[in-house]
């Protein structure tokens, strides 16, 4: 499939950029979904060290509290289950102050066939629909940007949005479902930025991918052979959490154009310093992005609200 280049002011970032280059974030607030482990926790630690107040939005409050204890800085823990739209609404309804940065980080990968509380295929329901609803419900509070963690998996095979049946009923394949959910992340970012621009909002929507990073995400893969191969790959090839979190931190703090897509600059985008990267043609189609947005509104019952917060 053809590749397109993310719109931007250049195609490479500073090859030496790392978390020590974060600006002073004193007075700023960030919400990180799934911030209790992996690159989410690493990003939380870096943002808090830079002065931000970091909210870990997690399913398990006990695990979230244990994670917060590893963060040096200002934190709080709030419950959020992205596989339950009632939980998403409860989280958003409890938010009552400006929010500078929303990082849609949580996700599940190549699970056995399952359903969310509302009956959606779990990977599409969690990785896309949960974050779609959360972002739209929080948007009146967001002042700066939304960063959504996608994946190079959006290019796998003939990845596409199965509009006739996003749940892949009777034809479920864990890899296919994961690729669809990650393609949805990029299309969501594209359409969100279009709507923000049209509304005259200063808020920016960006997407990132961490390259090949060793996290516990791979441990839930349905296929035991694939799981074993990932264990080997994690030890021999993958980056650690600190490197994997750099694209997220770069997108969260640097002056990048809306709809930018950030990933590692190394061979195959597997590892390296954060830079602007390309995305597939399927992930760049504005008509598909609009169609997905409409479907997502119908499935979640959460509609676009053009009234957004003003930057301080």
Point out the residues that are catalytic: 178
Helical ranges in the chain per DSSP H: 38-49, 61-68, 85-93, 122-123, 131-138, 174-198, 224-236, 241-244, 246-253, 286-300
Distances (CA, A) of 39 to 1, 22, 147: 29, 16, 13
Joined together, the tokens standing for residue 84 give 């339950």
Burial class (CB in 10 A: 0-12, 13-18, 19+), 8: middle
Joined together, the tokens standing for residue 9 give 């002011």
CA atoms of 77 and 263, how far apart (whole Å): 28
CA atoms of 75 and 180, how far apart (whole Å): 33
Joined together, the tokens standing for residue 290 give 């609009």
């Amino acid at each position: 499939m053809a590749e397109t280049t993310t719109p931007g002011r250049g195609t490479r970032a500073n090859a030496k950029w790392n978390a020590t280059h974060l600006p002073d974030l004193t007075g700023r607030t960030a919400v990180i979904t799934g911030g209790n482990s992996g690159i989410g926790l690493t990003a939380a630690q870096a943002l808090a060290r830079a002065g931000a107040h970091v909210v870990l939005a997690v399913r398990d409050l006990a695990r979230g509290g244990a994670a917060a204890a590893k963060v040096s800085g200002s934190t709080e823990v709030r419950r959020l289950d992205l596989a339950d739209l009632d939980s998403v609404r409860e989280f958003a309804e409890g938010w009552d102050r400006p929010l500078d940065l929303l990082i849609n980080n949580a996700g599940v990968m190549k699970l056995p066939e399952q359903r969310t509380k509302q009956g959606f295929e779990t990977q599409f329901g969690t990785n896309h629909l949960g974050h779609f609803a959360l972002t739209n419900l929080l948007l009146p509070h967001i002042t700066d940007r939304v960063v959504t963690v996608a994946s190079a998996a959006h290019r796998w095979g003939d990845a596409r949005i199965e509009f006739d049946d996003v749940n892949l009923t009777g034809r479920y394949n864990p890899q296919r479902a994961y690729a669809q959910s990650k393609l949805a992340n990029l299309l969501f970012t594209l359409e969100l930025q279009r709507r923000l621009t049209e509304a005259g909002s200063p808020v920016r929507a960006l997407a990132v991918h961490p390259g090949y990073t060793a996290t516990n995400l791979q441990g839930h893969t349905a296929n035991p052979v694939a799981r074993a191969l990932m264990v080997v790959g994690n030890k021999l090839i993958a980056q650690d959490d600190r490197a994997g979190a750099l694209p997220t931190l770069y997108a969260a703090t640097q002056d990048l154009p809306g709809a930018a897509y950030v990933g590692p600059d190394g061979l195959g985008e597997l590892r390296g310093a954060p830079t602007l990267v390309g995305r597939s043609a399927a992930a760049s189609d504005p008509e598909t992005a609009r169609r997905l947005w409409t479907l997502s509104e119908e499935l979640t019952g959460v509609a676009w609200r053009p009234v957004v917060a003003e930057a301080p």
